[in-house]
Amino acid sequence: MSAILRAQALGKRYGRREALTDCTLEIPPGHVVGLVGPNGAGKTTLMKIACGMLAPTTGRIEVVGEQPVAGPAQLARVGYVAQDTPTYPNLSVADHLKIGAKLNRRWDGNLAQARVDQLELDPKQKAGKLSGGQRAQLALTVAVAKRPELLILDEPVASLDPLARRSFLRHLMESVAENATSVILSSHLVSDLERVCDYLIVLVSSRVQLAGETEELLAQHYRILCTRRKETDLPPGLEVIVADHSDRQSTFFVRSQIGPPPTGDWSAERLSLEDLVLTYMERATDPVRRSTTHPTEDAR
């Protein structure tokens, strides 16, 4: 199976500001990918490049096997919902479906209608009069009815209340199960993604910090608690991501290449997804800590 998205040394600059730096990714198909990072990390830039709305400054990208917007066929295979799930406020729900049908060669009108019925949206209602949750569902309906192989959603649930969030994600997962669509979904909240994503990308300060299958990543990372010591005193095969020292105690967040850390005079426990993401965010945004965690620093 070929990658749903392949990026090689991808970069985007705005003047002197780097929005995306040296981004190399290979995402296998059939995943729901969570793209996580603080605001301004470059999530939207990466997504816009992936759907062809932005041209990269450097590097190469292939989405569903071709360059973004290589032609109408490639365009038909990728669905994109921009931040805050935009709709046309003065057009009705029915108008949205009509336009979708006219503009998309693979449009599935039955699916679109069934979803609108299921959501109990009034076809005559203007999109501007819908609630935030309904508007998000309408945007998702239009994107899903296009029957894309890859669906790119930029912060789709950020502005929704918890109930609307859950409802949106239920419908999204249902359509993933039904159509085997791959999804890339961004958020700055891990809790949104924990249930639905099986692939994780952590993006901080324009760089990819971590990428891989969630389950594998969780199986590789541990929190080690022990009496205060240098990280060089830890057994080999453990890469320290972040170290934290108090007077008596040291806490190491490690990535293990050797499976579960050996037993010793420490306690090792697995991380939650949130801890995992925060560990990498912390490392990327706290250069002081980063230098103290560098293996060679302690040796000097």
- Residue ranges binding other proteins (CB under 8 A): 30-32, 166, 169-174, 176-178, 194-198, 215, 218-219, 269-275
Cα atoms in the Cβ-side hemisphere of radius 13 Å centred on 273: 23
- Rounded least distance, CB 237 to other proteins, Å: 21
- Rounded least distance, CB 195 to other proteins, Å: 5
Question: Which CB atom, from 91 or from 196, has the smaller least distance to other proteins?
Answer: 196
Question: Which CB atom, from 170 or from 228, has the smaller least distance to other proteins?
Answer: 170
Burial of 82 (0-12, 13-18, 19+ CB in 10 A): middle
150 neighbors 4 (Cβ within 8 angstroms): yes
DSSP string across the chain? ---SEEEEEEEEEETTEEEEEEEEEEEPSS-EEEEE--TTSSHHHHHHHHTTSS--SEEEEEETTB-TTSSHHHHHTEEEE-TT----TTSBHHHHHHHHHHH-TT--HHHHHHHHHHTT--TTSBGGGS-HHHHHHHHHHHHHHT--SEEEESSTTTTS-HHHHHHHHHHHHHHHHHH--EEEEEES-HHHHTTT-SEEEEEETTEEEEEEEHHHHHHHEEEEEEES--GGGSPTTEEEEEEEE-SSEEEEEEEESSSSPPPBSEEEEEPPHHHHHHHHHHHHH-HHHHHHHSHHHHH-
- Rounded least distance, CB 167 to other proteins, Å: 8
Question: Which CB atom, from 28 or from 132, has the smaller least distance to other proteins?
Answer: 28
CA distances from residue 100 to 126, 145, 269 in whole angstroms, order as listed: 16, 8, 49
- Rounded least distance, CB 188 to other proteins, Å: 19
- Rounded least distance, CB 35 to other proteins, Å: 15
Question: Which CB atom, from 174 or from 297, has the smaller least distance to other proteins?
Answer: 174
Question: Which CB atom, from 24 or from 118, has the smaller least distance to other proteins?
Answer: 118
Q: Rounded CA gap, 227 and 56, in Å?
A: 48
Question: Which CB atom, from 18 or from 108, has the smaller least distance to other proteins?
Answer: 108
- Rounded least distance, CB 207 to other proteins, Å: 26
Question: Which CB atom, from 274 or from 298, has the smaller least distance to other proteins?
Answer: 274
- Rounded least distance, CB 76 to other proteins, Å: 23
- Rounded least distance, CB 275 to other proteins, Å: 8
Question: Which CB atom, from 101 or from 225, has the smaller least distance to other proteins?
Answer: 225
